[in-house]
Homo-oligomer: A and B are copies of this chain.
Amino acid sequence: MTNRTDMTRTSAGYFVSQETGIATDNPIATPQSSPPDILRCAYMELVVTDLAASREFYVDVLGLYVTEEDENTLYLRSTEEFIHHNLVLRKGEVAAVAAFSYRVRSPEELDRAVAFYTELGCDVRRSPDGFVKGVGDSVRVVDPLGFPYEFFYQSDHVERMSWRYDLHIPGELVRLDHFNQVTPDVPRAVKYMQDLGFRVTEDIQDEEGTVYAAWMRRKATVHDTAMTGGDGPRMHHVCFATHEKHNILAICDKLGALRRSDSIERGPGRHGVSNAFYLYLRDPDGHRVEVYTQDYYTGDPDNPVITWDVHDNQRRDWWGNPVVPSWYTDASLVLDLDGNPQPVHVRTDDSEMAVTIGADGFSYTRADENEGKLGNQL
Contact = CB atoms under 8 A, between A and B. Distances in A.
B103 A320 contact: no
Nearest to A319: B252
A262 B320 contact: yes
A256 B374 contact: no
Contacts of A301: 39, 105-106
Contacts of A174: 296
B299 A257 contact: no
B256 A319 contact: yes
A12 to B, nearest CB: 4
Count copies of this chain in the complex: 4
Interface string A91-103: 0000000000001
A67 interface: no
Contacts of A53: none
B318 A365 contact: no
A300 B10 contact: no
A286 to B, nearest CB: 12
Nearest to A266: B375
B245 A12 contact: no
B103 A250 contact: no
Given A365-B259, A378-B378, A163 B275 contact: yes
Contacts of A39: 299-301
Interface stretch (A165-173, A181-189, A347-355): A165-173
A234 interface: no
A17 to B, nearest CB: 11
Nearest to A168: B170
B262 A296 contact: no
A244 interface: yes
A326 interface: yes
A320 B264 contact: yes
Contact of A256 (B103, B320, B324, B326): B320
Interface string A355-378: 000000000011000010111001
A29 to B, nearest CB: 27
Contacts of A320: 256, 261-262, 264
Interface string A120-148: 00000000000000000000000000000
A210 B297 CA distance: 35
A249 B260 CA distance: 23
Interface string A279-322: 00000000000000010110111111000000001100011110
The 9 A-B pairs with the shortest beta carbon distances in the complex, nearest first, are A261-B320, A12-B163, A165-B253, A256-B318, A165-B257, A166-B257, A80-B296, A252-B319, A262-B373
16 contacts: A10-B163, A103-B300, A157-B302, A157-B304, A160-B296, A162-B296, A163-B318, A168-B254, A175-B297, A245-B249, A252-B318, A256-B318, A260-B365, A262-B373, A264-B320, A326-B374
